[in-house]
Each structure stands twice: as C-alpha cells, then as structure tokens.
Structure 1
Amino acid sequence: MNGLQAYQRVNTQTSITDADPHKLIQLLYNGALERINMAKARMQAKDIEGKGKLISKAIDIIGGLRSFLDFEQGGELAKQLEALYDYMERTLFEANRHNDPAKLEEVAALLRQIKDGWDGIRSEVVQQPSPQEVG
C-alpha cells in the first residue's frame, strides 16, 4: 500500500471516529457517491471486476443508510426514503448487470439531491442542545 492510500485510510478512520450521527450520514453519502464515480470510470475502462466491486460497495453503503432510517420519528419521509433507497439499490444492480453508465449517473443524481438536503440541515442539527444539556 502506498503512502497516499495509508494517509487516506487513517484520515477516513479519524473522520468516522470523530463524527456525530449527522456527520456519519454525510460520510456515507460521500462514500456512496465516490464508489459510483469510481465504478463509472472502471466501467469505461472495461474493468468488469473492479466495476462490480465498487457497485457492490455502493449498494452496501445505501443499505447502511437505509438501516439508519427511524420510522417512528421519520414517519412518511422515512418510508419514502426507504422506497428511494430500494430503487437505488435495484438500479445499481441493473447498471452493473447491463454496463449502463446512465443508471449510475441517475443514482448519483438522486444521492446528491438527498445529500444536499441533509447538508442543508447541518447547522440546525449541530446547534440543538443535547438531552444532557436540556435536563
């Protein structure tokens, strides 16, 4: 492993360790988008194995996002996000199966839209007092 890869691994581990729950979701969105972009490059390079691994990782990350959904507090929005995540997973599977970069871009665009909304509420989430501060 070269020095850059070692640095990136340590930097990523530090980011995850220091992340609050909101930041962790942001990191997952970033990771999924990164994997999709890298898969598109692997697809164009005709690297079938590399493309497949990257798409599988993106699907796993979306599954992770799905596991964070809170149906009690999230209500209808959580249900809609679950359906959207399901659609994204199926679309990525089809992109992999048919070597379809347009499907990769479709999922990336959907993820960017959700991520932009999530990033937009960051200041509200960070400014909320923790339950310990309220009590």
Structure 2
Amino acid sequence: MFTSVQSRANAYRRIAAETSVQGANPHQLVGLLYDALLQSIAAARGALARGEIDAKGVAIGKAVRILEEGLKAGLNLDQGGEIAANLQGLYAYSVIRLTYANLRNDEAALEEVTQLIEPVASAWKQISGTAPTPSLPATGPGA
C-alpha cells in the first residue's frame, strides 16, 4: 500500500515538473534551474546528515549538471558582458566547491554554495516582472 501511494506521489511530482518546464518562458526556465539547484544541494546536505553517501553523491552530481549544462551553458558572454562573466566565474567556483564537498563529505562547502547561489536566484526572480521576454531560447542570466 505504501509503495502505491509513494509511486503516485512521485508520478505527480514528475508530471508537475514537466508541466512547469513546458509552460515556462526562458526567464522562468532559469528560475526553475535555480530552484532545482538549491533543492539538489539541500538534498545532498540531508543525505550527508543521514550518512547516505550514495544519495549525497547523486544529489551533488545533479547540482553540478544543473550548473554546467543548464546555467553556465546558457550564458551569452558576448552579449552579457561583465555580468555574464561574473556568473560564469561563480558557477565554476560553485562546481569546484561542490566537488570538494562530495569528495570530503564537507557540509560547510555545501552551505557555502547555497549562500552564494541564493542571492542570485532571488535577484533573478525579482526581475521577472521587469525583464522583457526574449523571443530566442533561454540564454541564462547575464545574457
């Protein structure tokens, strides 16, 4: 019985996430990436606290992929100028710290990345009402 309820809950979460992504504009997609990044780091912290080393590694791997393949890859350094370059540096540093946290089971490094990313994610969400919706695919913050 529990497995059935859990299975339905997981299916609901997956469908809700897919629907959010499909209906999002480029600006919202970046916001969703920030949300997923922070959730992955929180999951890694929880797994580390519980001694679930494999789960910690999976969560950190997801966070690194979001940074590298989502946020960093979406930067347009030509048009984004100094802001895009600074974000690229922040994302690269965050990947280094997440890798360190994974190798050393270092909760402080996970907290550091959270503290670095949260203000950027918050600022990104605050500009959603003022930023024009681009007609091109998402290029990430600073584009």
State the TM-score, normalized to the length of structure 1.
Answer: 0.91
Change (3 A) 1:93 1:124: same
The answer for the alignment partner of 1:82 in structure 2 is 88
Contact persistence 2:26–2:133 (CA under 8 A): no
Gaps of 5+ in 1: none
Change (3 A) 1:77 1:4: same
SS at match of 1:2: helix
User: Structure 1 counterpart of 2:73, which letter?
Assistant: S
The answer for the alignment partner of 1:47 in structure 2 is 52
Offset at 1:130?
6.2
The answer for the alignment partner of 1:114 in structure 2 is 120
Q: Determine which structure has greater relative contact order: mean sequence separation of CA pairs < 8 Å that are 6+ residues apart, divided by chain length.
A: 2
The answer for the alignment partner of 2:66 in structure 1 is 61
Offset at 1:116?
1.1
How many residues are paired up? 129
Q: Which aligned pairs between 1:18-57 and structure 2 lie closer than 5 A?
A: 18-57=23-62
Offset at 1:109?
1.2
User: Structure 1 counterpart of 2:95, which letter?
Assistant: E
Contact persistence 2:25–2:133 (CA under 8 A): no
Contact persistence 2:47–2:56 (CA under 8 A): yes
Q: Name the CA distance, whole Å, in 1 between partners of 2:26 and 2:134.
A: 12
The answer for the alignment partner of 2:3 in structure 1 is none
Deviations 1:87-113 (Å, cap 9, x if unpaired)? 000000000111111110110111101
Change (3 A) 1:129 1:28: closer
The answer for the alignment partner of 1:93 in structure 2 is 99
Q: Calculate percent identity across the aligned residue pairs.
A: 36
Contact persistence 2:31–2:121 (CA under 8 A): yes
1:17 aligns with 2:22: yes
CA-based RMSD of the aligned residues comes to 1.3
Higher helix share: 1
Gaps of 5+ in 2: 1-5, 136-143
The answer for the alignment partner of 1:4 in structure 2 is 9
State the TM-score, normalized to the length of structure 2.
Answer: 0.86
